[in-house]
């Protein structure tokens, strides 16, 4: 992955397919898996910038990568510009950009001044973007933001235009307000934002199948789409599979073992992947398994190995 190519990717005119930052889930092994199935850009889980800077242990547990893990965006939660810029400088040699989380609606994040409460502080967001731009020594390194929308969309447009004036590289819009959870995505709002800035805009929310990528693009004109739950349920979604193919399940086993994924994480991902393809009694048995070897044995007995399909 040559430097500079994230912005070049937007220039190529195809709708980029992006794996969202997911707490506990979008770690290295999972990023390796979705990249194998046509994911263009991956995000790390959200990392709290102050903790990251304060402790080597936090850095080691929160941020693992390898040379194939590109293009990679590191997402930070922060509420002051210098801390964010310092954290960006630490990860810059190992990634292609940083993203400021302005969308997390969880109560702990909002009460600490992180996440979605930042959409109400456009001047601060502007300052934070400008600090990254000024302090990371690589002109091709991206500084992006991921936001939710306001009920009054004029405030969201104002936020995005201020971020643009500070040099934001691109903006991801989750098409819901901070209060909304499973309500329909406001595609009209995403389109309005796309039409009001000249930097690339990514749409996020309710991408469950490859066809949703195209329909979202048609509705909004965005430059890319970001999926979270859709990729958890089917990491091969961007390659056009309707459900998780068996090959993808075994690829996950391989990546997990190779990278030493903790059992709970390994198991949880499989619970998501098998949800649409297994029956209630099967799920009950699978969810109760408690070791990697019992999981592998179960998968072999229930679904067979990839070689079985090919013969």
How far, CA to CA in Å, does 101 sit from each of 27, 59, 93, 235, 273? 17, 18, 21, 23, 26
Each residue of 108-148: pLDDT tens digit?
999 999 999 999 999 999 999 999 999 999 999 999 999 99
CATH fold, domain 6-239, is TIM Barrel (3.20.20)
Q: How far apart are CA 69 and CA 14, in angstroms?
A: 21
Q: Which residues is 102 bridged to in the sheet?
A: 147
How far, CA to CA in Å, does 186 sit from each of 131, 159, 239, 271? 31, 17, 26, 30
Upper half-sphere CA count for residue 106 (Cβ side, 13 Å): 10
Helix (H) or strand (E) holding 8: helix 5-11
Each residue of 135-181: pLDDT tens digit?
999 999 999 999 999 999 999 999 999 999 999 999 999 999 999 98
Q: How far apart are CA 306 and CA 3, in angstroms?
A: 36
Q: Is 174 annotated as a binding residue?
A: yes
For strands 41-43 and 72-77, give the pairing.
parallel
pTM of the shown model: 0.95
Q: How far apart are CA 253 and CA 245, in angstroms?
A: 13
Helices 292-303 and 280-287: crossing angle in degrees, nearest 10, is 160
Intervals of CATH 3.20.20.70 along the chain: 6-239
Q: Is 22 annotated as a binding residue?
A: yes
Q: Mean pLDDT over residues 65-80, rounded?
A: 97
pLDDT of residue 309: 58
Q: Is 71 annotated as a binding residue?
A: no
Task: Name the pLDDT band for 2 (thresholds 50, 70, 90).
Answer: very low
List residues with catalytic annotation.
104
Q: Is 173 annotated as a binding residue?
A: no
Q: Is 273 annotated as a binding residue?
A: no
pLDDT of residue 144: 98
- DSSP per position, 106-158: -HHHHHTT-GGGGGG-HHHHHHHHHHHHHHSS-TT-EEEEEEE--SSHHHHHH
Task: Name the pLDDT band for 310 (thresholds 50, 70, 90).
Answer: low
Task: Name the pLDDT band for 238 (thresholds 50, 70, 90).
Answer: very high
More confidently predicted of 309 and 287: 287
Q: How far apart are CA 25 and CA 103, in angstroms?
A: 17
């Amino acid at each position: 992955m040559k430097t500079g190519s994230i912005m070049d990717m937007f220039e190529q005119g195809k709708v980029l397919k992006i794996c969202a930052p997911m707490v506990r889930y979008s770690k290295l092994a999972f990023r390796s898996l979705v990249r194998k199935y046509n994911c263009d850009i991956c995000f790390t889980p959200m990392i709290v910038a102050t903790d990251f800077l304060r402790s080597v242990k936090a850095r080691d547990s929160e941020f693992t990568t390898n040379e194939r893990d590109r293009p990679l965006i590191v997402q930070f939660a922060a509420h002051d510009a210098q801390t964010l810029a310092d954290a960006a400088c630490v990860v810059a040699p190992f990634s292609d950009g940083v993203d400021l989380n302005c969308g997390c609606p969880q109560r702990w994040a909002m009460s600490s001044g992180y996440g979605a409460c930042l959409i109400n502080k456009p001047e601060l967001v502007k300052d934070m973007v400008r600090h990254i731009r000024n302090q990371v020594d690589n002109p091709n390194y991206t500084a992006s933001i991921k936001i939710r929308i306001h009920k009054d969309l004029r405030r969201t447009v104002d936020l995005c235009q201020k971020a643009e004036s500070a040099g934001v590289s691109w903006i991801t819009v989750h098409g819901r307000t901070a209060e909304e959870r499973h309500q329909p995505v406001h595609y009209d709002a995403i389109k309005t934002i796309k039409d009001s800035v000249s930097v690339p805009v990514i749409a996020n929310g309710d991408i469950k199948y490859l066809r949703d990528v195209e329909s979202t693009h048609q509705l909004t004109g965005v430059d890319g789409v970001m999926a979270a739950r859709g990729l958890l349920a089917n990491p091969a979604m961007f390659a056009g599979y309707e459900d998780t193919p068996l090959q993808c399940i075994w690829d996950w086993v391989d990546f997990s073992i190779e990278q030493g994924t903790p059992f709970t994480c390994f198991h949880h991902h499989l619970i998501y992947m098998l949800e649409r393809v297994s029956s209630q009694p099967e799920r009950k048995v699978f969810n109760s398994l408690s070791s990697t070897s019992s999981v592998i044995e179960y998968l072999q007995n229930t679904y067979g190995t990839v070689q079985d399909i090919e013969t």
